[in-house]
């Protein structure tokens, strides 16, 4: 049998999203799927675009710049990886959302410029892991308010839970993220985005309230070994 096509993989992901949404009493229309193309060619991403995928994510600035130029202008781009301050000038004009706003040092370069910068998600280090980026859970509310008062447009929060052997291992972290988002939404009076869940655990994330999932391998297959 031949390899599974990107369009077939994408349709399977959509069906899984719909099922998980139904289990949480929601419609799949309430869940945004971001197709993360890290390491995959423009041609592969174009297959997903032609199958109806409109939102794509990248986590490397140079790769984002290359791919934006190779896909139609109607594509919506998110940046989902750690952002170095010296790469802000590449990312800022090319994305509709920065999902990984994780530290004070990004505020000034992100706001710099004549045009209004895109909105961001505050990245939460929900597992408080030393090797991961993000704001500790206990500091999220204070940081959220401080960055907003400083001029950053915050549309919600994002997290990557600790790696586990089973998707269920992530559920407690997703539950905590939902509580943090709900508290922020109540305080701000806004319906904030909750971006959590990737290929291995996005169904559990949706069951626990995720409104945005970042899916790469389930759509595009494994990345080439040489990038």
Task: Give the predicted TM-score (pTM) of the model.
Answer: 0.94
Looking at the chain, the whole-number percentage of residues with pLDDT higher than 70 is 98
CA atoms 52, 68, 160, 107: torsion sign: negative
Residue 12 has pLDDT above 90, yes or no: yes
149 contacts 167 by C-beta, under 8 angstroms:
no
- How confident is residue 32, by pLDDT bands cut at 50, 70 and 90? very high
Span 95-109, average pLDDT: 97
Span 166-178, average pLDDT: 97
Span 33-49, average pLDDT: 97
Averaged pLDDT score across all residues of the chain: 95
Span 196-216, average pLDDT: 98
- Residue 3 is predicted with a pLDDT of 80
């Amino acid at each position: 049998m031949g390899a599974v096509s990107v369009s077939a993989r994408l349709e399977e992901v959509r069906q899984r999203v719909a099922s998980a949404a139904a289990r949480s009493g929601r419609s799949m229309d309430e869940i945004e799927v971001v197709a993360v193309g890290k390491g995959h060619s423009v041609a592969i991403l174009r297959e997903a675009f032609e199958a109806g995928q409109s939102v794509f994510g990248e986590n490397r600035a140079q790769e984002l710049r290359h791919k934006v130029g190779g896909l139609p202008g109607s594509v919506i781009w998110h940046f989902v990886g750690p952002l170095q301050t010296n790469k802000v000038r590449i990312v800022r004009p090319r994305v509709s959302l920065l999902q990984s706003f994780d530290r004070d040092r990004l505020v000034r370069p992100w706001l710099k410029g004549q045009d209004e910068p895109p909105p961001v998600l505050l990245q939460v280090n929900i597992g408080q892991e030393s090797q991961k980026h993000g704001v500790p859970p206990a500091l999220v509310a204070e940081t959220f308010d401080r960055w907003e008062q400083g001029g950053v447009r915050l549309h919600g929060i994002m997290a990557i839970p600790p790696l586990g052997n089973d998707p269920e291992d992530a559920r407690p972290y997703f539950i905590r993220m939902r509580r943090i988002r709900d508290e922020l939404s109540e305080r701000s009076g806004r319906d904030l985005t909750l971006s959590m869940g990737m290929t291995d655990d996005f169904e559990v994330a949706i069951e626990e309230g995720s409104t945005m999932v970042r899916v790469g391998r389930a759509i595009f297959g494994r990345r080439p070994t040489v990038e």
